[in-house]
């Protein structure tokens, strides 16, 4: 076990649309298309309900009118993908075509899974877009936010004490960021996203995605952190950190990234 200073509680914010986001961190509710820098108490792969955006008033473009160029790369046809790296109060835009100029036809939640790839991918400017289907909603998504869910393992013993990185009176969110930064890459620079509101009780629980590790097969990690509130000194004791591998190209039957 290691110790981190923290206190207080965390409130769930309301979700409202705001313009597209870019940059290292998404601070509030928005519809994500460009890379920005909790799951339940276990690393469940059950999809959370997604929020449906107003239906598009335009028809999906034909292949001949699509922008960009065809990319013969993963995600491959039939791949079952999960939304990753989207902040807890944000959504991932499913669009009528590949690019931010197209209408949003649906919004995916940070915990959505079973997003099925059609096998059609295009590069538009600096982004790669994949044609996908989610529960009958068909459109295009920026693949920076889609990965395969791999196997889970406990990495508590692999982590050093992050308490020196935290200010006095740190929150559970700051605990999550401190633990995530121990796993993150600086080259390339990983992006970190807390994907669900923390839960506080006898044990605090929070889940954070670390996306972009400089590995062709492993696209990131989903870290589920359990921490026990301390008495008197307002400290959390991190009890465990469970990692779920997030794979770029696919997974074996054993959950290993390929």
pTM: 0.78
38: its two tokens: 């909790």
Radius of gyration of the chain (CA): 18
* Contact by Cβ (8 Å): 236, 225: no
Q: How far apart are CA 143 and CA 82, in angstroms?
A: 10
Q: Cis link prior to 45 (omega < 30° from 0)?
A: no
Residues 6+ apart with CB under 8 A from 41: 199, 205, 224, 226
Closest C-alpha to 106, from 35, 56, 167: 56
* Contact by Cβ (8 Å): 139, 131: yes
Q: How far apart are CA 237 and CA 174, in angstroms?
A: 13
| DSSP secondary structure code for residue 52 in this structure | P
Per-residue pLDDT of the chain (258 residues; tens, 9 = 90+): 554 544 332 222 333 232 233 333 333 445 677 654 333 333 433 333 333 333 433 445 556 689 999 999 999 999 999 999 999 999 999 999 999 999 999 999 999 999 999 999 999 999 999 999 999 999 999 999 999 999 999 999 999 877 666 666 778 998 899 999 999 999 999 999 999 999 988 889 999 999 999 999 999 999 999 988 766 556 677 889 999 999 999 999 999 999
Q: How far apart are CA 3 and CA 8, in angstroms?
A: 16
CATH class of residue range 47-146: mainly beta
Q: How many CB atoms lie within 10 A of CB 101?
A: 10
Task: Find the distance separating the first CA and the last CA of the chain, reported in whole Å.
Answer: 32
Domain ranges of the chain: 2-8+150-247, 47-146
Q: Which three-class secondary structure string do you get for 218-235?
A: EEEEEEEEEEEECCCCCE
Q: How far apart are CA 101 and CA 9, in angstroms?
A: 39
Q: How many CB atoms lie within 10 A of CB 65?
A: 8
Q: How far apart are CA 108 and CA 53, in angstroms?
A: 9
């Amino acid at each position: 076990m290691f110790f981190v200073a923290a206190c207080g509680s965390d409130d769930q914010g309301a979700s409202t649309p705001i313009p597209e986001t870019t940059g290292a961190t998404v601070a509030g509710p928005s519809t994500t298309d460009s890379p920005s820098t909790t799951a339940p108490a276990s690393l469940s792969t059950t999809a959370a309900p997604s929020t449906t955006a107003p239906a598009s008033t335009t028809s999906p473009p034909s292949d001949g009118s699509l922008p960009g160029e065809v990319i013969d790369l993963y995600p491959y046809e039939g791949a079952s993908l999960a939304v990753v790296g989207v902040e807890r109060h944000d959504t991932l835009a499913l669009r009528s075509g590949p690019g931010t100029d197209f209408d949003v036809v649906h919004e995916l939640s940070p915990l959505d899974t079973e997003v099925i790839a059609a096998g059609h991918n295009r590069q538009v400017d600096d982004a790669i877009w994949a044609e996908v289907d989610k529960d009958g909603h068909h459109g295009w998504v920026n693949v920076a936010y889609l990965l395969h869910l791999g196997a889970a393992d406990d990495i508590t013993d692999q982590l050093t004490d992050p308490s020196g990185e935290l200010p006095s009176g740190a929150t559970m969110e700051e605990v999550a960021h401190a633990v995530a930064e121990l796993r993150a890459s600086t080259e390339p620079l990983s992006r970190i996203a807390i994907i669900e509101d923390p839960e506080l009780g006898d044990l605090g629980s929070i889940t954070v995605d670390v996306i972009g590790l400089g590995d062709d097969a492993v696209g990131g990690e989903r870290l589920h952190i359990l921490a026990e509130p301390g008495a008197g000194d307002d400290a959390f004791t991190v009890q465990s950190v469970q990692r779920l591998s997030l794979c770029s190209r696919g997974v074996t039957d054993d959950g290993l990234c390929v």
